[in-house]
Copies of this chain bind each other. A is one copy, B any other.
């Protein structure tokens, strides 16, 4: 056990599974970096250095830099997965799913069902989500609701180094296509992470704080925003159940409904969009299955319905912050 960053935790999960299982391969743009250049071969590990060192350990047969052809290489990864390999593919920014959406939602997602269960697609797609780097609307989205729309995919949104390692390990061992969403502002977050491999089951929310006055469901980086808010609220005497679903498909509906049964109040804090997003999804679940327990409106704390601006001040207004969570919780508690 040692303090590790989210970045290291992800790297360790991949290394662990690649050592464990020779069928695990890694593909993507610059996952090693340096292919064909005049310098070092294992130069980058992706633009943020997450997979650095893997080429050196596992060689070019298992760590493949690709051309900038997401449809081509994700299609290839699906084919490789259908053939028995377990590819871990890097789709740098999740926004780039735009150029390979067919492969992800029409092929990987439907492959098993459409062919009547003949195959399994043990594919993991790692991808970066989230705003906060002033890189505008095509590099800052959080598209897990769009992935979650499609049956056949599993969707993971780890909020901490510990969860990142355990969930990625599960993703790679899982026999279905998994979209693993890494929040780009979390890479340098540190916490204690075991050196050995461990798998966190998919579909189990983690209860980060037990309160009883209000249920706050938060995802990915918003878990930390919600957690800061909960600490402040506690000082006001408002005790929060803080739930991090960790995976949106499968979604741990039971834990959410159970908590709301106790609190009667629900606030969802999410960085994905306000229309057909994850907050809507969870709100709709509770409005149907937990209605009898509800004592206040379900409040969604999400960005507004707008593309993501580059300017840091506008971007800061875009992303939900502690104050918006405080307002929302106070509102439902006072209802």
Contacts and interface: CB of A to CB of B under 8 A. Distances in A.
Given A145-B276, A150-B273, A300-B288, A307 B109 contact: yes
Given A98-B106, A307-B152, A287 B284 contact: yes
A71 B151 CA distance: 24
Given A138-B110, A149-B146, A152-B307, A287 B298 contact: yes
Contacts of A292: 297
Contact of A276 (B99, B149, B294): B149
A319 to B, nearest CB: 15
A284 B298 contact: yes
Contacts of A103: 98
Contacts of A114: 136-138, 307
A211 B98 CA distance: 43
Contact of A284 (B279, B291, B305, B306): B279
Contacts of A71: 99
A285 B110 CA distance: 30
A283 interface: yes
A298 B114 CA distance: 32
* Oligomeric state, in copies: 2
A302 to B, nearest CB: 10
Contacts of A276: 145-146, 148-149, 276-278, 280-281
Most buried by B among A95, A99, A114, A291: A291
Interface of A: 71, 95-99, 101-106, 109-110, 113-114, 136-138, 143, 145-146, 148-152, 249, 251, 273, 275-281, 283-289, 291-292, 294, 296-300, 305-307, 309
Given A114-B136, A284-B284, A286-B287, 10 more contacts: A99-B101, A113-B307, A143-B149, A149-B273, A149-B277, A151-B306, A151-B307, A152-B307, A284-B300, A292-B297
13 contacts: A97-B101, A99-B101, A99-B102, A106-B138, A113-B137, A149-B276, A276-B281, A279-B284, A283-B288, A284-B284, A286-B287, A289-B297, A291-B298
